[in-house]
Amino acid sequence: MHIIHIASELAPVAKIGGLADVVYGLCQATLKLGHTAEIILPKYDCMNYSQLTNLKIEQKELWIVAGSTRYSNAIWSANFGKLKIFFMEPNHERLYDRGVIYGCSDDIDRFVYFSCVAMQYLLQSGKQIDILHLHDWHTSLVAFLCKKNNYKLGKCVLTIHNLAHQGICRISALSKLSKDLLEGLGFSDSMNLLETGILYADRITIVSSNYAKEIQTPEGGFGLDPVLRDSQKKLVGILNGIDQDYWNPSKDPCLKRNYNTQELENVLKAKQTNKCFLQQYLSLAQENIPLVASISRLVPQKGPDLIEYGIIRTLELGGQFVLLGSTSISNSEIKEQFVAIQKRYRGDNRVAILLTNDEALAHLIFAAADLLLIPSLFEPCGLTQMIAMHYGTIPIARMTGGLVDTVFDIDTSDKPLKERNGFTFAFPDQQGVNWALERAVTCYKNHKKWQKILRSGLSQDFSWEKSVKQYLLVYEELLSFKS
């Protein structure tokens, strides 16, 4: 099968969050099964090129027509292991040279343009494509363009990673270039790119079964629940995996001590070494007390107030807290909130607040922490709970979206005891956090119970090998319908 992904992120080349990990993991898993997977990305100026080889200009000038003007683009290609990546770079304007992936006032223009250029590139490339796999609102427009123009570029699969972001705007507020690109396609003035994708894609995958249910309700549908209910037959929930070569404690170069997760003794010893190293690195007291961490984008979805409360409460309960949180220009109030927290705790050797995106440090924290707090208000799938468990760290998670499908409370879950792998709470409020956190910190001293939870988390299969089979079923089923 020949699968082409068109996406805004790919780990670790251009990564903001889980979307990047998922696109990477899915590509690798399909390649391993002998399929051809390629990906098209914008050529951002802030990419991590370190693991790419053979970066070169594939085509100096790819022209697209908008209104009465032609725009030229350079097409770059590179190899990332077995994965071939194509980068689209407009020659006329610095649409992707902004030092950021998202967060510009003209993001919708940037991704409308990207969708059109990617489409044009595929049309003239002559590639025989089976599946065109699109991700979130950024590339949803491609599904519409294919159907509207009857382009034969394979079956269109759209994955919804996060329904909260839809690419909504008024066409009259877009740039002249976008207006010209969208001219005559039958849009009214208001446009919702994700909705367009939902209506025109052949199949829609959602990143967990529980989130697939939640988004069809008024509470979880962000206004699109009626459209999603109408498209119910096209929807399928497939839990994300984690790439276990990339997230591999036995080889991870970011750890002080690597470990084989098959033996608990090994995990416990390595945890001690990695924890001491992290404590030293972050100037935390070298004590054997519960180390709670949070690794998250600091946006409303992730429950920033509850993260703050989690810090306060952890200290009251006698633990340490490490926050690795990335801030963004579009959430400046949250950034200010955490800068103030950072100041409050300056010099306190029980807390480290790091307001940055640091991939290597994230790996070390996953290995070094005892507990990972995830108090999300909603969470389509969530990867951090899976990575944490795979690294021998116990999640404390709010029961929403994919967290419901992956974290099972040691005390209250109706799952068999050997599958219970964490601490959970139902309501995203301080009482909820407190209830789970108190139990978790207390449990730290109960070695027998603690190790039971650890073992259960470590034995869970969150590999892509499992999830990719479900994607392949979706692809095969679509290809079996001739149209």
How many chain residues interact with ligand ADP (CB under 6 A)?
A: 18
Distances (CA, A) of 4 to 38, 54, 84, 153, 168: 5, 19, 10, 10, 25
| 162, 222 contact by CB (below 8 A) | no
Instruction: Give yes or no for a cis peptide into 90 (omega within 30° of 0).
Output: no
User: Which lies closer to ligand ADP via its Cβ, residue 384 or residue 467?
Assistant: 384
User: Which alpha helices (DSSP H) does 33-135 contain, by range?
Assistant: 107-125
Options 212, 295, 352, 373; binder of ligand ADP; rule CB under 6 A: 295
9 in contact with ligand ADP (CB under 6 A): no
| Helix, strand, coil percentages for the chain (3-state, nearest 5) | 40, 20, 35
Options 101, 204, 362, 373; binder of ligand ADP; rule CB under 6 A: 362
64 in contact with ligand ADP (CB under 6 A): no
Beta carbon of residue 365, minimum distance to ligand ADP (angstroms, whole number): 9
Beta carbon of residue 318, minimum distance to ligand ADP (angstroms, whole number): 26
Stretch that binds ligand ADP, among 32-40, 260-268, 354-362, 445-453 (CB under 6 A): 354-362
Report the b/e string of 398-416 with b at 16+ CB within 10 A: bbbbbbbbbbbbbeeeeee
Stretch that binds ligand ADP, among 15-23, 143-151, 337-345, 412-420 (CB under 6 A): 15-23
Stretch that binds ligand ADP, among 11-19, 87-95, 190-198, 332-340 (CB under 6 A): 11-19
Stretch that binds ligand ADP, among 134-142, 143-151, 252-260, 321-329 (CB under 6 A): 321-329
274 in contact with ligand ADP (CB under 6 A): no
Angle at 340 between CA 338 and CA 341, to 5 degrees: 60
Stretch that binds ligand ADP, among 34-42, 45-53, 133-141, 323-331 (CB under 6 A): 323-331
User: Which lies closer to ligand ADP via its Cβ, residue 315 or residue 355?
Assistant: 355
Options 324, 410, 441, 458; binder of ligand ADP; rule CB under 6 A: 324
Site string for ligand ADP, 369-398 (x = CB under 6 A): ------------xxxx--------------
Q: How many CB atoms lie under 10 A from the CB of residue 237? A: 21
350 in contact with ligand ADP (CB under 6 A): no
Beta carbon of residue 152, minimum distance to ligand ADP (angstroms, whole number): 33
Beta carbon of residue 131, minimum distance to ligand ADP (angstroms, whole number): 23
3-state secondary structure (DSSP) of residue 290: coil
User: 330-336 long-range contacts, Cβ below 8 Å, gap at least 24?
Assistant: 330/102, 330/103, 331/298, 331/299, 331/300, 334/298, 334/299, 334/300, 334/304, 335/298
Options 125, 175, 248, 357; binder of ligand ADP; rule CB under 6 A: 357
Options 183, 359, 465, 477; binder of ligand ADP; rule CB under 6 A: 359
- Residue 120: CB partners within 8 Å, gap ≥ 6? 62, 63, 64
Options 8, 17, 38, 154; binder of ligand ADP; rule CB under 6 A: 17
| 382, 310 contact by CB (below 8 A) | no
- Residue 310: CB partners within 8 Å, gap ≥ 6? 292, 294, 321, 373, 375, 433, 437
Q: Under rule CB under 6 A, which residues in 299-318 are in contact with ligand ADP?
A: none
Q: What is the DSSP-derived secondary structure letter of residue 14?
A: B
Beta carbon of residue 294, minimum distance to ligand ADP (angstroms, whole number): 9
Both tokens of residue 244?
């276990």
337 in contact with ligand ADP (CB under 6 A): no
- Residue 56: CB partners within 8 Å, gap ≥ 6? 76, 77, 78
Beta carbon of residue 264, minimum distance to ligand ADP (angstroms, whole number): 24
- State the Rg of the chain over Cα: 23
Given the rule CB under 6 A, which residues bind ligand ADP? 17-19, 21, 295-297, 324-326, 357-359, 362, 381-384
